Copies of this chain bind each other. A is one copy, B any other.
Amino acid sequence: MAEVTLRDVARAAGCSVATVSRVLAGTRPVGAETARAVRAAADRLGYRPNEVARALRSRSTGTVGLVLPQITNPFFPSLVRELEHALHAEGRAVLLADCDDDPATEATRIAALLDRRVDALLLIPVDERRSRDAVATAAARVPLVLLDRGCGPGVADSVAVDNAAGMALVLDHLAATGRRRPCFIGAAGTASAAVERHAAYVAGAAVLDPAAPRRTVLGDFSVEWGRAAVDRIWPARPDAVVCANDLIAAGALQRLRQLGADVPGEVAVTGFDDVPLAGLADPALTTVRQPVAELAAEAARLLAHRPAAPSIPGPRRPVRTVRLAPELVVRGASAPAGGAEDPRTTP
């Protein structure tokens, strides 16, 4: 009762195990009569294939490892959700690994997933440099797609938002609404989001003000840093605080208001990612929305199309890099400076 196997179905249907397998998997045509009998028996017994045995024999577990730095980073849950759905739609299950933002843990988790014979890996690397080795060796064994962050050139396929385009959207918007003295609160380190957003700010801000590219402070992607950074840049009286992500922006906004600054009247605040928190801040943050569902779909697509790793190393095929266009979400925190005191809406 506990465990109905192919043998049981075969016995009940009066045929061989091979035939049952063929009917159920549809791998080879089988006589109509027999097929019906088999299906009936399987139904009646409540047969469910043992995925473990199937995996062993067919050398494919139908399982994808999802490795990320910290599930508590508010940008990830929605991404995880979309990925889970996209993969489940293809009948693949998701093995989750949280790395605690530590490259060593990351390497351990990746190894554990490979031991479990995942068919592929979806990976948001912890660190651009320090994740490199583990990622490269993993990519040599299974199809691997990097998500959201890069990991050095040529290591693996990757899909991410176009950070430069996003930052450009922000700067254009600020320019269009009359801001002229922007400053930037970014993140140090080699994470591609940090580097690219910073670079894009530096490149684009000069249009507004030749001195703007220099008004930049770098910390990490946290609320605390956002708060602290404001104390460093507020004395220069910028009329816009451009932040490398929403967490920083939330902290910055909070601190600005503590200091009595008028947002958005006196200074605009912008973020990046459009995490749920962004819409809840007061005033709501203007930010750049990542196309999360598309990122997930694209990642799944890359995985599906990446043929299994070659047994003979051979000439490494070129990696594919997908960049998706983000979308600007304008909210109260960047309403035109000339507007009413009430920051809720922008007519």
Q: Is the CB of A115 within 8 A of B48?
A: yes
User: CA of A70 to CA of B56 in the docked complex: distance in angstroms?
Assistant: 32
Q: Is the CB of B80 within 8 A of A98?
A: yes
- Judge if A76 is at the interface, Cβ distance under 8 Å: yes
Annotate A43-73 by CB proximity to B: 1 below 8 A, 0 otherwise.
0000011111101100001010010001110
- Judge if A306 is at the interface, Cβ distance under 8 Å: no
Annotate A74-110 by CB proximity to B: 1 below 8 A, 0 otherwise.
1011101100110010000111111010000000010
Stretch from A124-132, A156-164, A274-282 forming part of the interface with B: A274-282
Nearest residue (CB) in B for A257 is: B282
Q: Is the CB of A280 within 8 A of B223?
A: yes
Contacts of A109 in B (CB 8 A): 88
Contacts of A94 in B (CB 8 A): 95-97
Contacts of A176 in B (CB 8 A): none
Nearest residue (CB) in B for A254 is: B282
Q: Is the CB of A70 within 8 A of B81?
A: yes
User: CA of A276 to CA of B72 in the docked complex: distance in angstroms?
Assistant: 9
Contacts of A113 in B (CB 8 A): 93
Interface size on A, residues (CB 8 A): 52
Nearest residue (CB) in B for A250 is: B280
Annotate A110-138 by CB proximity to B: 1 below 8 A, 0 otherwise.
01111111000000000000000000000
- Judge if A311 is at the interface, Cβ distance under 8 Å: yes
Contacts of A80 in B (CB 8 A): 71, 96, 98
Q: Is the CB of A280 within 8 A of B281?
A: yes
Q: Is the CB of B56 within 8 A of A84?
A: no
- Other-chain contact of A71, B49, B56, B81, B276 (Cβ < 8 Å): B81
- Other-chain contact of A72, B49, B70, B77, B254 (Cβ < 8 Å): B77
- Judge if A344 is at the interface, Cβ distance under 8 Å: yes
- Judge if A258 is at the interface, Cβ distance under 8 Å: yes
Q: Is the CB of B51 within 8 A of A117?
A: yes
Q: Is the CB of B254 within 8 A of A52?
A: no
Q: Is the CB of A112 within 8 A of B93?
A: yes
Nearest residue (CB) in B for A309 is: B2
Q: Is the CB of A114 within 8 A of B81?
A: no
- Known contacts: A84-B71, A344-B258. The answer to whether A52 contacts B48 by CB under 8 A is no
- Other-chain contact of A95, B74, B76, B95, B223 (Cβ < 8 Å): B95
Contacts of A78 in B (CB 8 A): 72
Annotate A199-211 by CB proximity to B: 1 below 8 A, 0 otherwise.
0000000000000
Nearest residue (CB) in B for A74 is: B276
Residues of A260-316 contacting chain B, CB below 8 A: 276-277, 280-282, 311
Question: A50: shortest Cβ distance to chain B, in Å?
Answer: 7
User: CA of A80 to CA of B94 in the docked complex: distance in angstroms?
Assistant: 14
User: CA of A61 to CA of B71 in the docked complex: distance in angstroms?
Assistant: 24
- Known contacts: A81-B70, A98-B81, A282-B254. The answer to whether A52 contacts B55 by CB under 8 A is yes
Nearest residue (CB) in B for A342 is: B258
Q: Is the CB of B84 within 8 A of A115?
A: no
Q: Is the CB of A311 within 8 A of B56?
A: no
Q: Is the CB of A52 within 8 A of B116?
A: yes
Residues of A1-20 contacting chain B, CB below 8 A: 1-2
Task: In the A-B complex, list the 10 residue pairs whose CB atoms are closest, starting with the nearest.
Answer: A96-B96, A84-B98, A51-B116, A71-B77, A72-B77, A94-B96, A52-B56, A52-B55, A71-B81, A52-B117
